[in-house]
Amino acid sequence: MSTTHEFRLPDLGEGLTSADLVEWTVRVGDTVALNQVLAQVETAKALVELPSPYVGVVSELLVEPGTTVPVGTPIIRIEEPADSPSPSDSQSPSVLVGYGPAAERPSRRRRRIAPDSLSAPNIERRHATPSARRAAREAGIDLSEITGSGFDGAVTAADVADALAVKAPSDNATRLASSGIRKQMASAMVASVRAPQANVFLTVDVTPSMELLGRLRSSDAFTGLSLTPLTLAAKSMVTAIAAHPTVNAHWDETRGDAVVDDHVNLGIAVASEHGLSVPNIKSAETLSLVQLARAVTELTVAARAGVTDVHHLTGGTITITNVGIFGVDGGVPLLNPGEAVILCLGAVSERPWVIERKIEARSVATLTLTFDHRILDGEQAARFLSFVAQMLADPDLLLSHL
């Protein structure tokens, strides 16, 4: 005798009580395997794939694409044959993408569903993300007139923002569409300014670091990895935390004191068409330079594609951002809420530099440290920034800590 299972929308992360169903990747009558991706949902933080916890045949899709679904709501029914192995008997347990390893992660490639398998209204919804539909509805834009850049040609919120030329006749103001990720960014920045923030700056000769990068890029160990000044700055920052642990802390509002975190979950600020996100590398203090370079590469690629695992969007303890990739000499970043420090790396450029009373052309960069003044004072922040700068000026110091 077969068993019918209802799969409910799982908890997708801290503080997220609902998600928008973007698209189904299965249809009624399909046979699904354990951990096969059933659907893609959009939260305020990321696009998330939902793997199946059951083996069986899809008997009913309970939610239409475009619907906002509260956590715990049944979204699909799967008929499990009587002779089907239970999840506990399978070789790999069902794991929500972003919440721990599985023996084999399901393929990220999605099967395109034939148009005749869905009704016409559903097809129209599948070609635009929920945030895009909301933005278009607010602005009075016809989605059929917008070319989508998302998966399978879906219109994204960024596509709507690009197409927006609608101005209110009363005040000529232009309304910009905000995706869930951009709204989350806005909320985070409002929360950030509640902390008393201060800044210290230091300009440093990073010529030796640039020379080291040149040598490392030619080595087999770094083939295919993004090896940039950010990589060395991130490794220097993580290394410096061992001598200055207080920077890896957060403020406990309830008790009114600072709590030093026991692991360094290093946030990497990434700008993309989806908005600014800060995915973090878990336990970055345990990683070698090669491992850190690989983690930075993978997180950056995922964030720019808008498919960062939720696991990497929560629990960050300290952050680094790189405005140098835009040719900007420096900036004054705002703290990521709940963190004590954020380091900003400016552009590396050729500048005149005095060495032994002689002027030479050197590779120079400006570092800016923003810190929570409840947790750190100016001396602590300055000493930490100076430690990071010393390792970039003399990477032998950094290598000696590896």
10 touches 38 (CB < 8 A): no
Host H or E run for residue 21? strand 18-24
User: What is each CA distance from 203 to 128, 200, 341, 359, 363, in whole angstroms?
Assistant: 46, 11, 18, 16, 11
Q: Which of 142, 186, 136 is nearest to 156 (CA)?
A: 136
Dihedral sign for Cα 325, 326, 330, 333, please. Answer: negative
Of the candidates 5, 263, 274, 373, the residue annotated as catalytic is: 373
How many Å separate Cα 264 from the centre of its chain? 16
Of 275, 282, 290, the C-alpha closest to 261 is: 282
Task: Please tell me the number of Cα atoms within 13 Å of 344 on its side-chain side.
Answer: 22
Q: Which two tokens stand for residue 21?
A: 């169903």
Question: Is 311 annotated as catalytic?
Answer: no
Q: What angle do CA 11, 190, 176 make, to 5 degrees?
A: 85
Neighbours of 250 (CB within 10 A): 19
Greatest pairwise CA separation for the chain in angstroms = 88
d(CA 390, CA 313): 30
The closest alpha carbon to 78, from 99, 50, 105, belongs to 50
Amino acid at the residue 175:
R
Identify whether the C-beta of residue 178 lies closer than 8 Å to the C-beta of residue 156.
Answer: no
- Tell me how crowded residue 111 is: count the other CB atoms within 10 A of its CB: 12
Q: How many CB atoms lie within 10 A of CB 48?
A: 25
**3-class state of residue 19 by DSSP:** strand
List active site positions: 373
